[in-house]
Amino acid sequence: AQSVTQLDSQVPVFEEAPVELRCNYSSSVSVYLFWYVQYPNQGLQLLLKYLSGSTLVESINGFEAEFNKSQTSFHLRKPSVHISDTAEYFCAVSDWQGQNFVFGPGTRLSVLP
Amino acid sequence: KAGVTQTPRYLIKTRGQQVTLSCSPISGHRSVSWYQQTPGQGLQFLFEYFSETQRNKGNFPGRFSGRQFSNSRSEMNVSTLELGDSALYLCASSLMSGNTGELFFGEGSRLTVL
């Protein structure tokens, strides 16, 4: 069975500063990794995903995440955040068949002016 | 194309009552999953339906049930409501069960049990 740890429940950061949201996973099989974002009063939206290939994946709004198999991590980073990035971010893992999705507890990112 | 639609968006019930929530997936999507989201427990998987069959089930009591219709629309039912059932219930659809892509989420149904 898979599990996901997001050590930081809340991350406050000033606008235009860099941010890293940490995600570690545990699994006995190969996995696929995802970051989802939830804006207030909305459902979750896929931000980016790692299935195979390059270990660095990017989203269209400037976020990137790097799959590190040896450290079983998939940390999310953005070099310069905006107020509009304020949201809750969920790391998720599925097995190599795309089944058994498991979500982390979430990290609430608050971007301060 | 239209996204995942969940109804109702908000509802208030009292303990002991039952509730039915509805989810219309994106057209062409055959897999529907349900999640319960609470501040204390985060996102917890309830069940997944594909082609009218329950394929996976999370660790919830039998009071939580669901079904899927031939048009892929899904309903979930919670009977004998308890205070702890207050949560945001999220539905997610995908093209097929166990695909390697993305789950598309609705905006959720927020249930308050008094």
- Identify the residue among A96, A101, A108 best suited for mutation to test binding to B, counting B beta carbons within 10 A and taking the highest: A101
Collapse the DSSP code of A84 into the 3-class scheme (helix H, G, I; strand E, B; otherwise coil) and give the result: helix
Rounded to whole angstroms, the Cα distance separating A102 from A52 reads 18
Q: What is the mean pLDDT of residues B90-109?
A: 82
Is some CB atom of chain B closer than 8 A to the CB atom of A44? yes
Q: What is the mean pLDDT of residues B77-99?
A: 89
Is some CB atom of chain B closer than 8 A to the CB atom of A35? no
* pLDDT top residue among B102 and B27: B27
Rounded to whole angstroms, the Cα distance separating B65 from A12 reads 39
E-only strand ranges, B8-113:
10-13, 19-24, 31-38, 42-50, 53-57, 64-68, 74-78, 87-94, 104-105, 109-113
**pLDDT band with cut points at 50, 70 and 90 for residue A98:** low
Residues 6 or more apart whose Cβ sits within 8 Å of residue B50: B30, B31, B32, B68, B96, B97
B108/A101 CB distance under 8 A: no
B103/A46 CB distance under 8 A: yes
pLDDT of B99 over the 60 cut:
no
- Identify the residue among A2, A44, A45 best suited for mutation to test binding to B, counting B beta carbons within 10 A and taking the highest: A44
A102/B99 CB distance under 8 A: no
**What φ, ψ does residue B68 adopt, rounded to 5°?**
-130, 140
**C-alpha distances in Å from residue A77, one per residue of A15, A63, A109, B18:** 14, 6, 12, 43
Rounded to whole angstroms, the Cα distance separating B84 from A94 reads 27
Rounded to whole angstroms, the Cα distance separating A39 from A42 reads 6
pLDDT of B36 over the 90 cut:
yes
A101/B45 CB distance under 8 A: yes
**What φ, ψ does residue B83 adopt, rounded to 5°?**
-55, -35
A45/B90 CB distance under 8 A: no
What's the pLDDT score for residue A1? Answer: 75
Mean pLDDT of chain B: 92
DSSP state of A80: S
Rounded to whole angstroms, the Cα distance separating B22 from B66 reads 10
* pLDDT top residue among B48 and B97: B48
Tokens of A88: 């809750």
Are B24 and B4 contacting, i.e. CB atoms less than 8 angstroms apart? Answer: yes
What's the pLDDT score for residue B39? Answer: 86
Instruction: Please report where in the chains the tokens 């955040």 appear, as a residue.
Output: A81
> Between chain A and chain B, how many beta carbons pairs sit less than 8 Å apart?
47
pLDDT per position as a tens digit, A32-90: 899 999 998 888 999 999 988 888 999 988 999 999 999 999 999 999 999 999 999 99
Distance from CA of B104 to the nearest CA of A (A): 7
What's the pLDDT score for residue A23? Answer: 97
What's the pLDDT score for residue B1? Answer: 62
What's the pLDDT score for residue A102? Answer: 87
